[in-house]
Structure formats: structure tokens, C-alpha cells
């Protein structure tokens, strides 16, 4: 009887243990196969997704480096074109001044009296003024004009009753403008007339 119980218990315990061992083992096998399949499915899913992202990143980096290279090339080309434009503009300006240099050389080589020399220099001066005018360089008219700090630089204030207060009475050095831009202000003497 004890044996029977023991055998019964053993059989019950055995069947319970078998069930306990079988269920986890069966579910473990099922889990492993499911996990294995899931892991391989998940591994292939994220790996393929990762490969796509890496490929997209590499493509974007390649496009970015190409765009940077194109930008640098365009910047270099623009800089070179600007420099060439400045060089041509300068060459054109110098070319218009060469006849003046030629005239000065001829005047210096000529043996003539003072009057002829003066008339030659006046001719050269007119030639130079014409060349500057073609380059859009214009003299600032100062004498007799009201003092304007934008275009005049006052060197001296002169006490006088012959001119209104703050009027330019003498131009010491002529000022010039290039189109609307000031190249050099005129150096002037300005009247100070307390009575007016």
C-alpha cells in the first residue's frame, strides 16, 4: 500500500513533473523556434532598414560633397571673372591716359620758349581733363560755393568782409568725384564774416 501510494505518488509526481518539464520544454522549444524565427525576422528587418539608411546617408553625403565642390568652383570662377573685369577696366583707364603721357614726353623734348611751352602744357591739361571726363571723373567746383563738408576739407578760416560767412574763398587743391562717389575732397580756405 505504501508502495502503491508511493508508486501512485511517484506516478502522479512523475506525470506532474513530466508535464512541468514537457510544458516548459515544449513551450521553450516553441519559444526558441518563435524567437529564432522572430530574431531572424527582426534581424533581417532592422539590418535591411539599417542598410537602407546607410545607403541613403552615403548618397546624401556624396551629393553634399558634390554641391560643396560645385559651390567652391563657382566662387573661384566668380572671383576670377571679377578680377579680370577689374584688370580690363584698369587697362582701359590707363589706355585713355597714354596720349597724355605721349604729349608730356613731346613737350619735354621740344626746345621752345616759355610761351610755347605754356601753351603746350595747357593743351596737355585739356587732353588730360577730357580723358578723365571720359572715365566719368569730374572736378568739384569749390571757389565761390558754400562750404560743404561732404566735398570740401577746410584748411583755413579767413577773416573777410568780401565774402559771405562759410563761403569757399580759395581752392588749394581740387577735389574729384567718380560718378557720384567722392574720390578726393577739395582742400579749401573758408570765409569767416562775422558781419554777414
Give the pLDDT confidence of 136-158 residue by residue, as tens digits: 898 999 999 999 999 999 999 99
CATH topology of domain 138-196: Nucleotide Exchange Factor Grpe; Chain A, domain 2 (2.30.22)
Helix axes 114-134, 2-109, angle to 10 degrees: 150
Contact 190, 158 (CB under 8 A): yes
Mean pLDDT of 90-100: 83
User: What average pLDDT does the chain have?
Assistant: 79
Residue 149, SS3?
Answer: coil
Looking at residue 77, its pLDDT comes to 95
Q: How far apart are the first and last CA of the chain?
A: 147
Domain ranges of the chain: 138-196
Contact 122, 156 (CB under 8 A): no
Looking at residue 109, its pLDDT comes to 79
pLDDT, one tens digit per residue, over 101-122 is 888 888 877 777 888 888 888 8
Amino acid at each position: 500500500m505504501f508502495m502503491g501510494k508511493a508508486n501512485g505518488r511517484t506516478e502522479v509526481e512523475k506525470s506532474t513533473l513530466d508535464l512541468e518539464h514537457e510544458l516548459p520544454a515544449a513551450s521553450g522549444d516553441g519559444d526558441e523556434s518563435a524567437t529564432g524565427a522572430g530574431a531572424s525576422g527582426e534581424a533581417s528587418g532592422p539590418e535591411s532598414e539599417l542598410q537602407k539608411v546607410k545607403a541613403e546617408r552615403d548618397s546624401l553625403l556624396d551629393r553634399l560633397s558634390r554641391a560643396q565642390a560645385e559651390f567652391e568652383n563657382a566662387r573661384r570662377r566668380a572671383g576670377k571673372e571679377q578680377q579680370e573685369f577689374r584688370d580690363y577696366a584698369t587697362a582701359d583707364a590707363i589706355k585713355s591716359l597714354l596720349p597724355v603721357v605721349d604729349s608730356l614726353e613731346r613737350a619735354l623734348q621740344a626746345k621752345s620758349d616759355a610761351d610755347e611751352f605754356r601753351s603746350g602744357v595747357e593743351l596737355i591739361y585739356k587732353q588730360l581733363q577730357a580723358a578723365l571726363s571720359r572715365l566719368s571723373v569730374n572736378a568739384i567746383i569749390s571757389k565761390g560755393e558754400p562750404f560743404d563738408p561732404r566735398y570740401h576739407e577746410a584748411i583755413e578760416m579767413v577773416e573777410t568782409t568780401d565774402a559771405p560767412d562759410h563761403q569757399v574763398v580759395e581752392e588749394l587743391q581740387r577735389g574729384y568725384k567718380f560718378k557720384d562717389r567722392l574720390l578726393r575732397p577739395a582742400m579749401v580756405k573758408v570765409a569767416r564774416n562775422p558781419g554777414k
